[in-house]
Amino acid sequence: MMALARKRGVFLCRQMLEVTSQPTKGTKLRNMSIWPSRKRKITAAGYALLAIPATTFFLGCWQVKRRAWKLDLISEIEKNMILEPEALPDDLLKIENMEYRKVHIQGYFDHSREFYIQPRSLIKHGGHLPSGGLYTDPSGIGVNVVTPFHLTDRNASILVNRGWVPKTKIDARTRAEGQIEGEIHFVGVVRLTEQRPAFMQKNNSRSNFMFYRDIDAMAHQLGTSPVFVDADYDSSVPGGPIGGQTRLQLRNEHWSYIITWYTLAIATSYMWYRKVLLKLPLL
């Protein structure tokens, strides 16, 4: 009897060991966890792929900074445009710190050496045009006329964007009425050199037609100081260019860029995690 009891005890112990050694539901769930095993190693290719979400995240942060810069620039432009006009500084080099500031200009034009910036669309002033203006092209595409202007309060000449004319009036002989002679006074808006837009062809240094505002190149060709002002709308005369062609509406699409780059950062981070850490197919 003692031997039989001993055998039954051994049998029951074996049964209990077998039961406890089997994985429970919790164990299976832990083994099937989405968290990667510590034994898995990331290869060099995996680290290289990590550059994609890292780059898109960096670009999103960069666009946040760009948006803040653009908002500050717009605020500064709006502030400068409502200030009262002031005289040109004695040192014309200080003009670099005065973009979008209004200045008083007095002197006379040299119409024999016009430059043209093309193509340019007409910027209407308050939704209307000056009487006797040159707006005849329904497409509104033409050029801005840039003319050397000699200052009478000093021995210097600057560049003045007189305004817009249609393509049919580029030749100065077709708008002789608007070629102002003698000494005049007007208000202009200081402008700086314009960076060449993407995919825009380069200016031809031997031509008097330009595609973007390169002040140094124009000043060198015309022998003027590298100072450029947009004549205001009130400077417009019948038969002459339409002034007030200062474009103030700056593109501010940085919110859409921020959303795009951060969304790509999240998506590519998940794809990297799934592919590199979990070793699962992307789809």
Contact, 156 vs 88, CB < 8 A? no
- Quick: pLDDT tens for 123-140: 887 544 454 444 444 557
Identify the pLDDT of residue 1. 47
DSSP string, 38-73: TT----HHHHHHTHHHHHHHHHHHHHHHHHHHHHHH
Please report, for residues 59, 73, 100, 192, 255, the alpha-carbon distance to residue 66 in angstroms, rounded to integers and kept in the order given: 10, 10, 20, 20, 10
Element (H, E) at 252: none
CA angle 88, 91, 93 (to 5 degrees): 95
Identify the pLDDT of residue 45. 86
Please report, for residues 248, 264, 266, 267, the alpha-carbon distance to residue 255 in angstroms, rounded to integers and kept in the order given: 20, 14, 17, 18
Q: How far apart are the C-alpha atoms of 157 and 108, rounded to whole Å?
A: 9
Identify the pLDDT of residue 171. 94
Burial of 166 (0-12, 13-18, 19+ CB in 10 A): buried
Predicted confidence pLDDT, tens digits, the chain (283 residues): 444 445 554 444 455 445 444 555 544 444 445 555 555 688 888 888 899 999 999 999 999 999 998 888 888 888 888 889 999 999 988 898 899 999 999 999 999 999 999 999 998 875 444 544 444 445 578 999 999 999 999 999 999 999 999 999 999 999 999 999 999 999 999 999 998 888 889 999 889 999 999 999 999 999 999 999 999 999 999 999 999 999 876 778 899 999 999 999 999 999 998 888 888 887 6
DSSP string, 127-172: TB--TT-----TT-EEEEEEEEEEETTTTEEEEEEEEEEEGGG-SG
Element (H, E) at 257: helix 254-272
CA 73 to chain centre: 11
